[in-house]
Chains A and B, each alone.
Chain A
Amino acid sequence: MKDIGDRIISHAAAFSIEAASKELYERSKVKRELKVKFINDNLVELGGPGLCFKENKLLKAVESGFAFPQIVSLIFNFINGIESILILLEIRKILSSDTVNSEKVSLGLRSGLTGATTFANYDIRYKKLLDEHKDEVVLFSIDKTKISIWLYFSSENTWKVQSGTFSREPTTTFTFKDLSVANNAISGRFDHLGGPAVGDAKVSGNLPFLDKIGYISRKVEQQVPSIL
């Protein structure tokens, strides 16, 4: 995939929303996913025709939970557009809620890691960083829960994130102590050096790969706006 310069921020935001919607869809909470389509240099469509943002507006939507979509697209595809808006609002509701539960945490983890894979897929610096790890698979989980989020290099030659079961064994595992620690992590309040040392997370396996994923995730957290 080609390097897309500064637009990587809106790409990461868009793919994170798509990932969150996928998680909700797989949990049967919404009727469909919000598939991302970049229509031209400036416009991104979420969930088919209807919900379409200028890229800068999308970033605002992600940060504040609301921004005006492109009205023309919405008018001409009203039903689909409104449905997509409702899904977006559902994601926002879950992620901005004070309640800490598996739904919120897996949504946050999956969308955050998808932001990292976007950086790894589109930015040459991060792509190079992960080049030697294409055979590896990281499993993120939370102790005593069923949450499993996998990060791997797919047969389509891109880094991907998936939830639930997976066909391969992990080469690295990262296990949060509990939902509350994982919730801190998705809100950018996890000390990657201190956390594992105080038992907030257990890391095993091939740590250099995890180290790099962690670094990229922190770059995403710094640069990509978030509701959290």
Chain B
Amino acid sequence: MSLNHDKSDKLFSRALNVIPGGIYGHVAPVAGLPTHLPKYIQNASGCRFNDVDGNEWIDFMCGFGAILHGYSHPEIDAFANEQRLKGSIFNQPSPVMVELAESLTNKIDFADWTVFAKNGSDLTTWAIRVAREHTQRPYVIKAKGSYHGVDAWCDPGFGGRVDEDRSKILEFPWNDLECLKTLLKSYANQVSSIILTPYHHAAFAPSIMPTETFWSEVEQVCQKNGIILILDDVRVGGRLHDGGSHRYFNFTPDLSVYSKALGNGYAISACTGKDFLRNASKEVFLTGSCWNDAVAMSAALKSLEISHEFNVAESILAKGKYFSQGMCAIAKKNNLPLNMSGPFSMPYPCFEGDESLFRIQKFCEIAAGKGLYFHPHHNWFISNAHSIADLDLAIDLADQAMCELVDLENS
């Protein structure tokens, strides 16, 4: 049974007149469960939100990763509000920009400098250009199926592109070091950077962790071939280690990009880098109308402080473990072969043998009827606002959904 969504639907009908497709991108209803998940949200707090029809949901997407400490976090909001009273955009940056750069440069062990923008894409694209500028080489290597943003060199859409957009982008399957080495041989002295996420978290597929030697070997081939290693920590940053995901996997990139959780819902992204890239970074033009937004920078400053003070990455990994184990236990009880792939703080659920995703879609559909916001083909996110009681309630409701799924399949 689906929750009431009359108001949501009415809004969406209005939107269709004035916004192509109504809602686009990764939050387009068609990318999830078009008629089961809410289209518009009214307000949110902690790990719950209310849709415009007044239904309350327990959330497991955290604004697709933008929320780390919970929605409407009182301390972060208060700190941001203080700045809001002073103003957000000026002719010049505000002092908080320097404070935030110092904070990040301190917290990210390899970083000697930091720059800011608004979106992850702004800086993944900028980072590959910095690498090109430094190396004076054209090619970029990425993992097949990885998402690095909306720009033409990497977006998952099909429209508005010309062949040249990707003519200098090479791909290898995640963890396939042989293929990576073959590419490096074929394009010797032509590769400027390898850009990778900390682990492989493609949509529509279980997450894949790096093999034991993956990162050390990638690091080695980069060093040996004078290639810049770019860590795209946009989605994972803050969720595995407070000092950046490279610490969790024990390697050192040359550049790393953060965004989603950085501002806990305030739009901001950052790229940090090693000293030897400072000159190149000054040559690649970087700016945006609202990129010096002091409110978002204040939020990020506070958010980083809280992450550090309360060991948030460790905390959500532990909560995620509790949740994933609980989910697997109820699945086992219901004879459903559930896997929670990826790290515990961002699990991607899948049923064995369900490559076409029909089963997980049905399960999430039934769960949605119980107020659980489970996405069928994107990794979920655990925030630090999820309490054990919230997780227990979610597991209990998920258990009911699994029972119904089994009944439905048997009927």
Q: A residues within 8 Å of B by Cβ?
A: 129, 136, 170-172, 191-194, 196-199, 202-208, 212, 215
Complex CA–CA separation, A5 to B24 (angstroms): 32
The yes or no answer to B351 lying at the interface (CB within 8 A) is no
Q: Provided the pairs A193-B21, A197-B39 are in contact, do residues A207 and B204 lie with their beta carbons within 8 angstroms?
A: yes
Contacts of A215 in B (CB 8 A): 158-159
A18 CB, nearest partner CB in chain B, Å = 27
26 contacts between A and B (CB under 8 A): A129-B158, A136-B356, A170-B356, A171-B356, A172-B356, A191-B21, A193-B22, A193-B24, A193-B30, A194-B21, A194-B22, A197-B22, A197-B34, A197-B39, A198-B12, A198-B13, A199-B35, A202-B34, A202-B35, A204-B357, A205-B356, A205-B357, A206-B355, A207-B31, A207-B204, A215-B159
- Residues in B whose Cβ lies below 8 Å from that of A129: 158
By Cβ-Cβ distance, the 5 closest A-B pairs, closest first, are A193-B21, A197-B29, A171-B356, A196-B34, A197-B34
Task: Among B16, B31, B35, B204, point to the contact of A191 (Cβ < 8 A).
Answer: B16
Known: A197-B12, A197-B34, A198-B9. Contact between A208 and B28, CB under 8 A? Answer: no
**Min C-beta distance of B252 to chain A, whole Å:** 33
Q: Chain B interface secondary structure, helix, strand, loop or mixed?
A: loop
B112 to chain A, nearest CB (A): 40
Could you tell me the distance in whole angstroms from the C-beta of B196 to the nearest C-beta in chain A?
Answer: 20
Known: A204-B358, A205-B356, A212-B158. Contact between A193 and B28, CB under 8 A?
yes
Q: Give the docked Cα–Cα distance between A190 and B334 (Å).
A: 40
Q: CA of A194 to CA of B20 in the docked complex: distance in angstroms?
A: 8
Nearest to B204 among chain A residues (CB) is A208
Closest-CB distance, A170 to chain B (whole angstroms): 8
User: Hey, which chain A residues are within 8 Å of B358, CB to CB?
Assistant: 204-205
Give the distance in Å from the alpha carbon of A159 to the alpha carbon of B254 in the complex: 44
User: For residue A208, which residues in chain B have a CB less than 8 angstroms away from its CB?
Assistant: 204
Most buried by A among B23, B34, B39, B357: B34
The interface residues of chain A lying within 8 Å CB-to-CB of B81 are none
A170 contact set on B, CB distance < 8 A: 356
State the Cβ distance, B110 to closest chain A Cβ, in Å: 35
Residue interface bits B158-186, CB-to-A below 8 A is 1, else 0: 11000000000000000000000000000
B315 at the interface (CB under 8 A from A): no
| Closest partner residue, chain A, to B13 (CB atom) | A198
Q: Are B355 and A171 in contact (CB under 8 A)?
A: yes
Scan B81-96; emit 1 where CB is below 8 A from any A CB, else 0: 0000000000000000
| Alpha-carbon gap, A171 to B359, bound state (A) | 11
Please pick, from B29, B158, B357, the residue contacting A206 in the complex, using a CB distance under 8 A: B357
List residues 168-218 of chain B with CB under 8 A from any CB of chain A. 204
Complexed CA–CA distance, A199 and B28 (Å): 14
Closest to B15 in A: A194
